[in-house]
Amino acid sequence: MRILLVEDDTTLCAQLGKELTEAGYIVETAQNGIDAHHLGTTEPFDAAILDLGLPQLDGLTVLKKWRAEGRSMPVLILTARDAWHEKVDGMDAGADDYLVKPFHVQELLARLRALIRRASGHASAELQCGPVVLDTRSGKVSVDGHTLALTSHELRVLTYLMHHPDTLISRTELTEHIYAQEFDRDSNTIEVFIARLRKKLPEGLIKTTRGLGYQLVTPE
């Protein structure tokens, strides 16, 4: 899952970026409102973490522009403790949640997981497709209760498919959501990861529609 992190405090941005990366996310960063608006408009993200006190273009304006342009990704805004009006303005502008500074990183991660789950129609922290269960809190995958050993890229591909079951996902979409912007995005490698996952998952769980993409099929 790909996250846009917008924070002008260099130290906090680096710290949060590290924590998000360690939690398994692909992280793109921006430290001013103009770059944030550009990235959020031109690149696909599963969620954004947006500080409101940004240079060049404030976070509230960035959020309003995203929503006016039809960008529907979940947005978690970061606000100062005494700026209660920012919370109200942010929610009215289209934010999905807010977090007050200072905050615990684990709370941020929990709120982020919840936003991504809700955006794809899931309520539980555990996503299930037949005998396959993905615990979004730990990143652990099990089949019939037995833990599955996956590489980081295999997990990213499966995680995206698990969040969008019974939905045809193109190779391009998968590529955009498991690699960073500057990464050499070779969509052909997706086929390799899909082939590896097929060997580890129950037969028939991942369906390929030639020329269109892949689908995680919920067993009847």
Q: Whole-angstrom Cα distance, residue 27 to residue 131?
A: 30
Candidates 1.10.150.530, 2.60.40.3620, 1.20.120.400, 1.10.10.10; CATH matching 126-216: 1.10.10.10
Beta partners for 51?
Answer: 78
Cα separation, 218 vs 166, whole angstroms:
6
Q: Which two tokens stand for residue 48?
A: 């954004």
Q: What is the pLDDT of residue 186?
A: 63
Which H helix or E strand runs over 143? strand 140-143
Q: What's the pLDDT at 185? A: 59
Confidence at residue 197, expressed as pLDDT on a 0 to 100 scale: 95
- The CATH number of the domain covering residues in 2-119: 3.40.50.2300
Q: What's the confidence (pLDDT) of residue 87?
A: 81
**Domain spans of the chain, in order of start:** 2-119, 126-216
Measured CA to CA, the distance from residue 65 to residue 127 in angstroms comes to 32
At 83-127, the pLDDT tens digits run 778 888 888 999 999 999 889 999 999 999 999 999 988 888 999
Express as a percent the part of the chain with pLDDT over 90. Answer: 77
